[in-house]
Amino acid sequence: MTAPAGRHGAAPGAQPLSEVLREAIGLAEGPLSQAKWAEQEIAAAIGRHPAQRDLLFHGFALLTPTHALMSTEFVARSHFRELLERLAIGADTRPGTAAEICCACCDASLTAPLTSAVTGLYLRMWAKAFPGVPVTDLGDHYEAIEGSAIDVLETSSRRALTRTDRTLTTITCTGVHHGEQVSCTFAAGPDGQRPTRRPRATARKPTAAPAGADRSVRNSEPGEGALGAQVVNPGGQWDAPHTWEP
């Protein structure tokens, strides 16, 4: 049963239909834009690694935003680009990306003052993730003072931000890419048999922390741990379900 309509076709006290429609469009634009950026980054990655064209095409399944800040184009693109580069060269796609570490540092900075080492990590990851968006020239200063601690934090943060499901399992391809028939490595052959080839880099374990690494980082809250304001809390927000799936 529908609610009684008002003079303009909406229930009394309800939002006008035009406002509801604008809100719905706004909610959809985020995922649609992210999907477009992902496709563009895949095309660029194929240009860099043409021999991995088929693998990179199916790499779309890995390009899931993991933080609200990835609604910003340059943040999402950096995240996608790093994952695609790893996929192309056979590296592990599960550990955290530089963009993910920057997002975690941003969250931590809103909770407690960052230590010198974490600030150095933030600047290092920013330079790697967003080289076209410079923010300060103090990175070398922090590297000179806290370089070894930053190395430990980078390894620990990438490990703590690992997403175990961020891998390509056996790929199933119909032989059609973007509506066009193609000769895909992962498509079934004329005999109906699918290739046994699996994507590379799915069997590797996340990189272990170097000797002396602060292993408490993995389960620490921002502001806790031997190095002060830590970067990640893998038992919290980073284990939440993805908000967008390609």
Query: What average pLDDT does this structure show over 2-19?
Result: 44
Radius of gyration of the chain (CA): 22
- Tens digits of per-residue pLDDT, 173-184? 999 998 999 999
The larger pLDDT score, comparing residue 61 to residue 136, is at 61
Instruction: Find out whether 219 and 231 touch, Cβ atoms under 8 Å.
Output: no
Residues 6 or more apart in contact with residue 1 via CB below 8 angstroms? none
Look up residue 209 and give its two tokens: 């922390």
Q: How far is it, in rounded angstroms, from Cα 233 to Cα 223?
A: 11
Q: How far is it, in rounded angstroms, from Cα 185 to Cα 187?
A: 6
- Of all residues in the chain, the percent with pLDDT exceeding 90 is 55
- pLDDT of residue 149 exceeding 50, the answer is yes
The larger pLDDT score, comparing residue 215 to residue 66, is at 66
Question: Which of 112, 109, 113, 214 minimizes the C-alpha distance to 157?
Answer: 214
The larger pLDDT score, comparing residue 102 to residue 15, is at 102
- Tens digits of per-residue pLDDT, 30-55? 788 999 999 999 999 999 999 999 99
The larger pLDDT score, comparing residue 30 to residue 94, is at 94
Quick one: pLDDT band at residue 129, thresholds 50, 70, 90?
very high
Q: What average pLDDT does the structure give for the chain?
A: 75
| Count of alpha carbons within 13 angstroms of residue 26, beta-carbon side | 6
Query: What average pLDDT does this structure show over 112-119?
Result: 95
pTM summary value: 0.70
- Of all residues in the chain, the percent with pLDDT exceeding 70 is 65
